[in-house]
Chain A
Amino acid sequence: MSIKPVFSFSIDMKLSEKGVSVGKYDGETASLTAITQSNKTTSKIEFAITAGKLSKSSENDYLAIGSDTNILVYQVNDNLEVFFKEITEGVLCMIIGTTDDRAGPMLFCGSKQTVRGFNEHGDEILWIVTSCFVNSIELFDFNRDNELEIILGCENEKIKIYKNDKFIRELNESGPIKKVIKINSLLAFILKNGTIGIYEGHVRLWRIKAKSTASSAASYDILGTGHMQLVIGWESGKIDVRDPRSGDVLMKMMSSNKIIGLLVTDYRGLGSNELISISEQGDIQGYMTSSINLAPISACDGSQISEMLNLKQNLLTELIHYENNLRVNDALTSASDDSLTTVKQLRAVANDFAIIPANTRLSIGISADEIKKSSVEVSISTNNSTIIKAVIVFTDGIFPNGEVLIVHPPTKRVVSGIYSGIQSASSRISGVSNIVIPLKIPKDEVIDVHIKAFVGSVDGNQFHVFELNRQLPKFSMYSLPEKISGSPKGFEEISKLSENFSLKAPESFVKFKVAERVSRFCMFINQNFLLPADIEPPANEIDSFDFLKLSLVSLRDASPVIITFYNDSNIIIQTENLELAGNLVQSIAEFMNITNLDSSASFPGTVSKFHELFEKLQGLQESANVLRTDTALKINLAKILVIRAEDAKITNMAQRLRVGNVATKMMTQYKEALLQKNVEKLVQIMEMGK
């Protein structure tokens, strides 16, 4: 089943993904606006455009053009510049809309560090520091308070939600966010790694990862079901129509060119919205809502039956597996009095079956690496002589080249033993029953790890797949300085570990007060750190302890972190890492359900670094200015040359109107006029020849 476009045309220009927008510049008819790729001639300038109603008084949409240095707001219909602003940190994305009725419509402009909001006069009335690249902005009622919030899709893998300039919440994703788009009451997101998904409030309804990267999404009822579908345009040229709540694909369309934009607007002015797809090659196609409901037809065209046949087949296969399993077991029990026959029989079926003792278990241990102190180690072992042929670790966002780490021990046959990780190959072993996998986790975040281990015999070519899912706590990359046993530990024992702490205690610290039961703190530590043993609160909570001092070492840079909980509810976190201190404070506050928390902090190291950087920045700004003037000069020169070329063309034509001496004379006069910058005279010369 396919849907044919209602209109289609091509503008035969390569278009940039950075900007496609539709605006009613005369207040009535929709115009499509796009950026061509060839605009990149002078330097690597990133552009963003958007169109919308910025003025309270005018019905016309304004067009905003953002580059890496400035914003220009333009009134297309009257060919008028509304305002021009320098944005030194560059513009990455823009949107026009109203989040605050008093302030009126605003142009929101996301850059490498900030989000700014301008009104129709170009006054900056909103300023949010995001401290990360803002790739996409959307205005959306996130918390259902009937007001729009500002949703930012950021490069640092976070979706941030602001109520005007107040931060409300962030949602962590598995890759840099490319786009956030509202789909009715839901929020769709597109990641640069090919993932797409939907949030309802802060709950993620679904997310899927594809080979290609999605470039745009829109909400449109293309199938005529009466409900909106989620339409996704992909770089591969595919357009998916999905159920927004489940992510199920309802229909697919294919074109050969990268889709760079999907827009919904009444493009032809017929009174109903159309879905418009725009490809990189400049092909533009419009689709309309189907007049008949296509959903049941697409289900009826045999796909339902073939789906059911698939299901039936899978069930049958599983049943056959169980039947065969019983058959082999029966055959073996009947022959069990003669162990030689058993072995022979096993050999006979070994190639057709994956055979392991039924009670084979796979145990998994996760701990800080004890020797090198540089990573978290996942150790996997079987409880018998079966070997682990390979292990695939799936997790998002911690591996450099994708979503997996595969461990495949050498295949040469030697004795069984422990195989540790991908780094060591000192012992040449093949039949391994124990594998240690080092994981380096780049960010302090909860990580879901999905492990698939292939278990079988050394010679076999069939393996059982054991699937294990584990969650690594947020601060798993901080470990105790000493090895301790696995039994629960009291406060004194833990605090004593600090006495032998060889590293110098950090000078910087943050101090705050949290009035909570001490058992809650134990729970916080046990849940958020990967310690070999649980910390037990003292039996009599109130006064049986002075403090709990937890000294930790970062597995990333071996820097020390000391967290001390005092009996008087004071907490001191000592670390030179300001970000870590912040993360710990936020996590404790979240865990204890604290909405307001005050703290005192001292980070002398960071402050002096800040000063240093600030001075450097000033120097850089100066040189940037010099460079910019230089560029401006060059651009002017280029412009002058282009104008000269145009002049030459026109003059040539003008010259061709005259012949002989008259023509040469005209040229001399023309040159004179050009030098005097006398435009009237130039025109006169062209028209009259003198």
Chain B
Amino acid sequence: MELELTRVDYNLVGITLQNSLKLLPAKKAKEQQRFVIGDQDGVVQLLSVKKDEVIVHFKTVPGNIITSVQLGGSTGTIHDKIFVAYDNQIVGYNKKGKVFLTFDTNLTEPIKSLCVTGNDLIVCGNHVYTHYKDCKESGSYLCGDTIVDCNVLCPHNTSRVITILACSGRVLRLLEHCRVRKLIELESIPTVLHVPKNAIGNKILVGFSDGRVTLFCVNPMLTEVKQEILIASKDNLSAVTCLDTFDLYGDGKEELIIGRRDGTIQVFTTMLENNEFEMDCQQLLYEENFNESISCVFGGCIGVAGYAELIACTYTGKVFGLTTRTIGDILTDAKSNSNVVTDASQRIQKLKSEIEYLEQAVTREREKYQLSTQAMSSGLSAISAMAINDSISLSADDATYILSLELPSPIENILVQSDVVALEMLDVEGNSAVVSKSECDKNDGNILLCCYRCQVNTNRLDLKFRTVEGHHGTLRVYITPNIQPKCCQLKTYTIHPLSLHMVVHNYDQTRPMNTLTLKGNFSQGEMHSWISNCLPEVPERIDSNDENVLMFKNVFLGTFLICVYSKGEAEFRSDNVTTISIVKDFIAKKATTKHIKIELTINVHDNTTEAFVKLIEPKFLFYNNLLKDNKTLQALLELNVQSDDEYELLSERYKMLLQNKRDIQEKFRKESNNFDRLINLLTYFYVHKNKLKGIDVKNRIETIKCSLKNSKSNSLVQAFSEI
């Protein structure tokens, strides 16, 4: 890696989320910049660094949770006015900490994201976007799904304001005058938007929950969208939490800076300045994991004048820099100024005395608390909940769920309980917690009980698990932080019957489909709620009152499910019989408990079987061959072929196997268990197909599994027809 960056710790603040930190612009290049942070304790502070010492320019008293910190200023001036969103209020501070604006939006929901440009305020809650001009509402827009982030485009520095909303329903909405001008459909859930400052106002960088970063380019009429994936999603890449572009080398080319949920900060080269679309040569310049999810990262000049630096803050409130100033630079500088080392040790001394003071205070309070828990005491022990930064996502790569949990304090242990049949916890690479499974009795509703005991100073943990469609229930996670008085918090996650489906915007219309039609005395809302109980990612609200359409794709098999429903009628179409069967069972059960009579019609197309099997075939053959290759390879390795002569005696296939030995072994290690998963799915497909026809083949399950597993044939269609 080319870039050498050294970590410098600056400060500790409360919990920070995305958009908590902003760098104030410098008047001159390479001049030290100030930075403003607003945390979950409600404290806003403007800081700068002088000789390793953090200087506080202003700091507010704790108050409501801060959801966004933005910079603004009237056009033509330096954008150094600070706008802070608290609850449903926006407060403006100048750089001296004086409040120049207090604006109550009167919105019904708290502000989630904010954007300031000139005299325009873009304010978003969970679903509502409101546009204010000079603090007067000029319009609003209601989304069915959740607004994740907002930003604006000002093409060619005109007074046009185009709002970009990143929405959880896998879309970007481009609005002008509060009307959607363009809807960009996305393959993954967006997490963050960034508009490169120097661009002419037509480029949008989007970070996604599957780790990818995509650049979108729109024309001024908003009719054409070009997109290019800058960073592709692979190997369970962690979600992008923040993005910036900055010229770290000072060579006129901006680098792409990415912060991720798992604590990784990466720097890539890009050709952003180039208006042409040729950004295919990304080179990784820097990568490091800081173990705490990164809330914000920016490039600038902070610690020492003249040295480019990244400044980042984490969920737990650590603010640190990654400076291009190397130890070598420090030593050279130290020759002219011998204070460097003493500065550092002074900081340590200061911290030490702070800690000592805190320790005394804690001991005093601990004793008081202990007294209050004596037998005669009549009071309560009320320990406040710790903010837990959690996210659960389905990874399209390998059709597994990743649950990431992060606390502001170290985690002692995590207890995982589940009543979902066939839910299986998987190992996460780089996860150092000791996992122990406990015995459990399914009559008590415990299918899984296990405990992750964390190593010291673990603030975040990723749990990975696999589900089998058709089984649903709850995953309960009890998280115990290592803080006195010891308490734990329960988090619950719903596992849907069709847990491996995700929302898509279109589907392969050439595929033959099976249909399930439901007619009965149900409202559209009821059907919507049944569907959202059955499938993940269903928007909370329905966009329209007439026919609503939702499309899903099974990430493991690639089959589709299309739901079209209105009052009294719903139609489900899928090329996978199993999917239809699961939907039928689930909704019929839901309707029965609500005493709603439903008329069911199922239409199974026989040609869907062959199409389905053909769809699976490449995957099946891939895993089947992988297993065979690995077996043969193991035997070949035993042969211990040493000389070229011996090697030449081998057949081409064996030579090929030996050449790709590491590749095969790696693939086998990662993916071999997917074969069993596929066999199971195929078996269930067969069972469900027959079930819908009224034939019970459950007693043949094991035979079917066996014959599929041992099938020698190179055609799955043939193997499947033989069972």
Contact = CB atoms under 8 A, between A and B. Distances in A.
Nearest to B365: A322
A411 B385 contact: no
Most chain A beta-carbon contacts within 10 A, residue among B358, B377, B433, B476: B358
Contact of B431 (A211, A306, A313): A211
Given A325-B369, A408-B417, A315 B362 contact: yes
B375 interface: yes
Interface in A304-326: 304-306, 308-325
B415 interface: yes
A411 B445 contact: yes
A460 to B, nearest CB: 8
A496 B409 CA distance: 58
Interface in A346-365: 349, 351-361
B7 interface: yes
Interface stretch (B210-218, B487-495, B608-616): B487-495
Interface string B346-371: 01100110110011011001101100
Contacts of A194: 434
Nearest to A391: B415
B2 interface: no
Interface in A577-602: none
Interface stretch (A19-27, A136-144, A463-471, A484-492): A463-471
A320 B374 CA distance: 21
A669 interface: no
A78 to B, nearest CB: 25
Nearest to B375: A359
B473 to A, nearest CB: 11
A422 B440 contact: yes
A409 B382 contact: no
Given A325-B381, A408-B444, A454-B488, A309 B365 contact: no
A302 B7 contact: yes
A81 B368 CA distance: 77
B380 A425 contact: no
Contacts of B362: 315, 318-319, 322
Given A356-B381, A403-B434, A408-B417, A425 B444 contact: yes
B316 interface: yes
A interface, over-half SS: mixed
Contact of A462 (B7, B361, B383, B449): B383
Interface in B400-455: 408-410, 413, 415, 417, 431-441, 443-446, 449-451, 453, 455
A339 interface: no
A138 B640 CA distance: 33
B288 interface: no
B409 A402 contact: no
A128 B374 CA distance: 58
Contacts of B12: 309, 312-313
Nearest to A401: B437
A328 B380 contact: yes
Given A14-B637, A353-B382, A317 B409 contact: yes
Contacts of A389: 478, 490
Interface string B283-321: 000000000000000000000000000000000111010
B434 A308 contact: no
Nearest to B427: A211
A320 B432 CA distance: 29
A40 B488 CA distance: 50
Contacts of A209: 434
A355 B381 contact: yes
A406 interface: yes
Contact of B344 (A300, A311, A410): A300
A210 interface: yes
Interface in A404-429: 404-406, 408-412, 422-423, 425
B374 A359 contact: yes
Given A306-B318, A390-B478, A463-B478, A321 B355 contact: no
B457 interface: yes
Given A319-B361, A356-B380, A464-B485, A314 B437 contact: no
A591 B247 CA distance: 74
18 contacts: A38-B637, A38-B638, A211-B435, A306-B7, A315-B355, A316-B358, A317-B409, A318-B362, A318-B365, A324-B382, A354-B487, A354-B489, A356-B380, A358-B380, A392-B451, A405-B439, A464-B486, A465-B487
Given A312-B351, A392-B451, A410-B445, 8 more contacts: A211-B431, A305-B9, A306-B9, A324-B384, A358-B373, A462-B487, A463-B488, A464-B381
Interface of A: 13-14, 36, 38, 40-41, 194, 209-211, 300-302, 304-306, 308-325, 328-329, 332-333, 349, 351-361, 389-390, 392, 394, 399-406, 408-412, 422-423, 425, 452, 454, 460-465, 467
